[in-house]
A and B are shown apart, each in its own frame.
Chain A
């Protein structure tokens, strides 16, 4: 089961060493899917603009972005359901433009599942195999195997309208996997599921992907989903690929304010560069005074930059910090969001801007020490700050 391709992820000795899977860092590794300057326009709108991207075998890649950013279009271009206006798409080094969608070794799991209402579950799953002209016995065997894999045994004779939403989703998954495609495309597959089921299914997808050694490309607008399942995330906006990196890199080293703001929560403080060192930068800001960030940058003194701070890295206290001056600022608590595991404080600084500080509620208290309208001090370490030039 499964074709691992050139990667070593299926090696049993490497089970549990997923963090060492990083073919994109290996200059000799060959991409399975390559987008080369791909553009696509619908009417006068550029849905996809000069996207270049490499996806490696065995990777779980996520395309993330707001609605209308072009991620689904990119997926459909890969599946062959639309053709690019510019650029090439290569599969294993070969241009797949002349290959029609029904001959590509790529399968897709549709957002609406697109199950054939007039066929049973077995009929749906066997559909793709029938097109290959396989002998009946083999088809039956593989269908059974796949239904067991997605835990739908015994439901083979039902029709789609007789299944629950979660079951329909598994049928769609089984149908697209049974042909053992080189790449599996998933178009917002979990959007219709409730939160708990979504969480469970995310892990199931990851396990399935690792076990079968396939390459998955998932499209989602849910950041948490992308961060959970993906080896790498490609963030898109208005048809352009903004940043491609692993989840930790995307979160802790965004390449722009847009990415920093799109993923998770962030405080952005505008300022001018005062001094640039080998590993640290000093910025003067109107809102928060003097800032020191342990974050290298190509900016030069006098340039306008933004310092990005994740709320969980901002400490909040009533007392002023012992070493005053850098990386600290005072304000008044305007709003508190109690999320159970976190408390998020919205603090209005003395000069007007609002900063967020998130604190994990590590002790069981009903009344928190910091309350509304309290005067507080926000501090953070230099390592916590990121300097962004755009």
Chain B
């Protein structure tokens, strides 16, 4: 029976405080009527309103969203395929190189990958912009999806697939009707992870961007270099709110699903 010892509770509480304090402060100051951080001018939503009129910012948000949706989906497909290949296909020619390519982006500094991709695009003479960022993001993010899906595949009960085949289901159909539904939650979290990473990326986007494809992080970054501005606080708070809602919603859904399975199972009539 685990009891919460003071040391453990203390370290967790302190850690969480450290993690959340800056964010909380940022959100609070987005409501500061005064422009200066030193002066608290009372609660106000004027920065949010000004934000709505900032077309450039909104445009960037839209571009960023589209890139994130596309690259997250592409990365999920590629990452899942890679995970299947690594977990299920045993030894194949070039496996070492393959796994190297799959895992490297996890730790590679983004300046290197960004630079490399840009040089590729230049060498092949592709116009930089929306699509190059999307390709770059997909490449960068695939490995994260692979890690998530791979860990789910490792714990997957293969006897379910054997049972399906034994009952007459050919391999592809088995994958679609048995494996896929059961690993779907992992695919979903992989997608969400990919989406967030794309939404958030600054370095690689900066390298591979072109005219008309200024993403939100690029825009925020250029503003931030000039100093703190409450409008930035406002857009950041909005982004935080969106992400927090998304995560909370997803966790609640997952918990509800689990509770449904476990709880009712416990009450089942013998």
The reply, when asked whether chain A contacts chain B directly with Cβ atoms under 8 A, is: yes
Interface residues of A (CB under 8 A from B): 79-81, 100-103, 106-108, 110, 112, 114, 116-118, 127-128, 131-132, 158-159, 161-164, 175-176, 179
A131 near B268 with CB under 8 A, answer no
Closest approach, in angstroms, between the C-beta of A197 and any C-beta of chain B?
11
- Given contacts A161-B261, A162-B264, are A107 and B181 in contact (CB under 8 A)? no
A163 near B165 with CB under 8 A, answer no
- Given contacts A114-B160, A117-B182, A118-B182, are A161 and B166 in contact (CB under 8 A)? no
List of B residues within 8 angstroms of A114 by Cβ: 157, 159-160, 162-163
B166 near A81 with CB under 8 A, answer yes
Which B residue's beta carbon lies closest to that of A172?
B163
A101 near B265 with CB under 8 A, answer no
- Compute how far the CA of A117 lies from the CA of B177 in the bound complex, rounded to whole angstroms: 12
B168 near A162 with CB under 8 A, answer no
- Compute how far the CA of A270 lies from the CA of B257 in the bound complex, rounded to whole angstroms: 65
Interface residues of B (CB under 8 A from A): 157, 159-160, 162-171, 173-174, 178, 181-182, 261-262, 264-265, 268, 270
User: Can you sample 23 A-B contacts with CB below 8 Å?
Assistant: A79-B162, A79-B166, A80-B165, A81-B162, A81-B165, A100-B165, A102-B165, A102-B166, A102-B167, A102-B169, A102-B174, A107-B166, A108-B163, A110-B162, A110-B163, A114-B157, A128-B168, A132-B168, A158-B268, A161-B261, A161-B264, A162-B264, A179-B167
Which B residue's beta carbon lies closest to that of A158?
B268
- Compute how far the CA of A128 lies from the CA of B170 in the bound complex, rounded to whole angstroms: 11
Which B residue's beta carbon lies closest to that of A187?
B159
B170 near A102 with CB under 8 A, answer yes
- Compute how far the CA of A107 lies from the CA of B268 in the bound complex, rounded to whole angstroms: 29
- Compute how far the CA of A106 lies from the CA of B170 in the bound complex, rounded to whole angstroms: 15
List of B residues within 8 angstroms of A107 by Cβ: 166-167
A163 near B166 with CB under 8 A, answer no
- Compute how far the CA of A114 lies from the CA of B169 in the bound complex, rounded to whole angstroms: 15
A131 contact from B159, B169, B261, B270, Cβ within 8 A: B169
List of B residues within 8 angstroms of A103 by Cβ: 168
List of B residues within 8 angstroms of A179 by Cβ: 167-168
Which B residue's beta carbon lies closest to that of A104?
B166
